Structure 1
């Protein structure tokens, strides 16, 4: 370590504008592609939610406090 602070231009970190450009050209995955989506349907049991991943995997989950519990995997 050189003992002096590194500036943002010297670090090997993508800036926000650079990261946006990379996502636009398909070089970095979109963040929304990996995050699951939670939703409820009219027939979803009370206190439960459906958690769906971009891959199509669906889980029936419920929350106990801040902890998520999986009740059923791969709903069809």
Structure 2
């Protein structure tokens, strides 16, 4: 599977969380809900997952690999 650019993915996650807070503050705002839904769909497509919850978990794990020390992934997979 092709994986998205990490900077683009991190930006999408940040935007999703911002719009999530906006929707929680005003759940009847149709514009905010639509933007949140669009971001959720984009995350699902990029991460190849069916739900936004799964996509966020997958994205966070993928982004975390960048923060590990070199070789940490290899040692963990042994």
Provide the TM-score with structure 2 as the length reference: 0.21
Q: Please state which structure has a larger fraction of its residues in strand.
A: 1
Give the structure, 1 or 2, with the largest relative contact order (CA under 8 Å, sep 6 or more): 2
Bigger Rg, which one: 1
